[in-house]
Amino acid sequence: MGFEKNILCIGAGYVGGPTMAMIAYKCPQYKVLVVDIDKDKIKAWNSASLPIFEPGLDEIVTKSRGRNLFFSTEIEKGIEESEIIFVSVNTPTKTFGQGAGRAADLQYWEKTAREILAHSKDSKVVVEKSTLPVRTASAMERILNENSAGMHFEVVSNPEFLAEGTAIRDLENPDRVLIGSRETPEGIKARKAVAEIYLNWVPKKKIIESNVWSSELSKLTANAFLAQRISSINSISALCEKTEADVDEVANAIGMDSRIGPKFLKSSVGFGGSCFKKDILNLVYICESYGLDKAARYWESVVEINDWQQNRFVQNMLSNMFNTVAGKRIAIFGFAFKADTGDTRESPAIYVAQGLLEEHAEVVITDPKALENAKKDLKPFKQGVTFQADPYKAAKGAHAVAVLTEWDVYRTLDYKRIFNSMVQPAFLFDGRNILDHKKLFDMGFNVFAIGKAPLKHF
Ligand code: NAD
Ligand code: UGA
């Protein structure tokens, strides 16, 4: 059977894998091929043990794989055979040269564009799925369209807004799908071709079309606004701790104002994840490069507040545990940057664990899905850190428990049993405000939550 469209995605990571699995699942009439340079990753996508954990992902991959969804390392063949190519390679923060520590490192993107050009035999639509600085499409067009074979490549921006842990739900029922292109007849045609894919399951009114620059900039802006809300409430959490106001009560009160809304107002040890920090720093760099220093400083402060919040958490542990944690066993409940993912990129737990290890604490990490990544993140620390899948065993003999990821499993543990197995006085630091603090205090714990007055027995 022939397929109606041949779609290729370059980059089989957290975005490329689930996004293409959803397209294949919803559109059996299209052939969807996902390619990557990482052989092990492709092997895992073709196995029963997928390379990423995401609720509901196994099911949709199993239903489509081998039917119209394929994972391969044969990038060249994939390019040749496809008419629409999504590019979902990583765009990390640059670690060298000009813009180091802030600008996006576009080397993987540019390499991919050159590969597309080298292996294409006809014109194609190239879709920016990765998050990119505004005006990247212009550079890509220049690279792709300088060819002597008469091929024309239309670059379309279609940023991804999925969040990890809810990726499948977000892909199946997105708030919106944004598609930006040049406003030329070819650009509009390419935009429509991409929209046609989503129209298989996304209502037309949720598909927004725009110019390509607005689309690129909207992605960075959306992440900046989301992170800004977290930094805003986290800044208020510090004030709550000084004034006996309760940050969850404040968030609830302001969130009921329909102009503010309740989402992304959960105060925490800080935001993590591979994108918020990198995308805001990129936005800062772009503002600076246009001479917009005030705007750059404004957005930079969102990251600064986040760093401050993580640092405050460690300082709070230290000062409340009699100014020393050296030699003390501290159990960290949760290492993933949020619940329902095994991803630990930029997780606040990395920062907190490092801070405690530098103070010579004996740190025990437990997490239902992220222990393998935690081991990689803490590899530089040869001593003082152990990993334990069972939270009860992790807490046994500990002076303190710090909850750093809001996994459901931590809400329902037998904390009386945990308390009885710990060194007294037992401390509990809730970096996610998910536990019943009064109940824990009554059991005997000294409880420190984010943005709340401490509950101490001394
Ligand atoms: P990732 O690191 O999980 O995946 C990127 C993949 O691209 C890797 O598997 C890598 O091997 C592959 N790759 C790199 N260069 C390649 C090449 N030349 N040819 C073939 N494959 C190549 O990254 P990710 O989290 O999926 O993010 C990808 C992009 O999507 C980033 O720009 C990110 O900002 C954006 N984004 C991520 C999320 C998220 O939740 N992770 C959400 C929205 C947008
Ligand atoms: C975020 C955005 O939500 C997605 O729309 C976007 O596509 C994605 O970044 C991206 O570009 O990579 P993600 O990082 O996967 O998604 O997860 P979020 O749910 O946004 O959480 C980010 C961090 O903020 C987590 O550490 C989370 O625990 C924290 N958070 C979130 C809070 O501390 N408080 C909140 O109220 C919400």
SS (H, E, C) the chain: CCCCEEEEEECCCCCHHHHHHHHHHHCCCEEEEEECCCHHHHHHHCCCCCCCCCCCHHHHHHHHECCCEEEECCHHHHHHHCCEEEECCCCCECCCCCCCCCCECCHHHHHHHHHHHHHCCCCEEEEECCCCCCCHHHHHHHHHHCCCCCCCEEEEECCCCCCCCCHHHHHHCCCCEEEEECCCHHHHHHHHHHHHHHCCCCCHHHEEEEEHHHHHHHHHHHHHHHHHHHHHHHHHHHHHHHHCCCHHHHHHHHHCCCCCCCCCCCCCCCCCCCCHHHHHHHHHHHHHHCCCHHHHHHHHHHHHHHHHHHHHHHHHHHHHCCCCCCCCEEEEECCCCCCCCCCCCCCHHHHHHHHHHHCCCEEEEECCCCHHHHHHHCCCCCCCEEECCCHHHHHCCCCEEEECCCCHHHCCCCHHHHHHHCCCCCEEEECCCCCCHHHHHHHCCEEEECCCCCECCC
Closest ligand to residue 313's CA: 2
Mean pLDDT of the chain: 97
Residues in CB range of 120: below 8 A, 6 or more apart: 79, 80, 151, 153
Q: Is 387 close to ligand 1, i.e. is its CB under 6 Å away?
A: no
Q: Is the CB of 114 under 6 A from ligand 1?
A: no
Q: Could you report the per-residue pLDDT of 334-359, keeping only the tens digit for each?
A: 999 999 999 999 999 999 999 999 99
240 among known catalytic residues: no
Is 128's C-beta closer than 6 angstroms to any atom of ligand 1?
no
pLDDT of residue 147: 87
Q: What is the token pair recorded at 202?
A: 């996304």
Query: Atom 12 (ligand 2): residue with closest C-alpha?
Result: 275
pLDDT the model gives residue 382: 84
For residue 325, name the pLDDT band (cuts at 50, 70, 90).
very high
pLDDT of residue 235: 98
Is there a contact between 394 and 411 (Cβ–Cβ < 8 Å)?
Answer: no
pLDDT beyond 80 at 1: no
What is this structure's pTM?
0.97
pLDDT value for 278: 97
* Number of Cβ within a 10 Å radius of residue 343: 22
Distance (Å) from CA 290 to ligand 1 centroid: 27
Choosing from 275, 277, 282 the residue with most ligand 1 atoms within 8 A of its CB, the one to mutate for a pocket test is 275
Q: Residues 9, 27, 240, 275: which is the catalytic one?
A: 275
Which residue puts its alpha carbon closest to atom 6 of ligand 2? 161
Tens of pLDDT along 41-81?
Answer: 999 999 999 999 999 999 999 999 999 999 999 999 999 99
CB 213 less than 6 A from any atom of ligand 2 = no
| Contact status, residue 127 vs residue 156, Cβ threshold 8 Å | yes
119-150 pLDDT tens trace:
999 999 999 999 999 999 999 999 999 888 99
Nearest to 228 by CA among 159, 165, 295, 306: 306
* Atom number, ligand 2, closest to the C-alpha of residue 229: 36
Q: Is 141 in the pocket of ligand 2 (CB under 6 A)?
A: no
pLDDT on residue 148: 87
Å from CA of 286 to ligand 1 middle: 21
Q: Is the pLDDT of residue 109 over 80?
A: yes
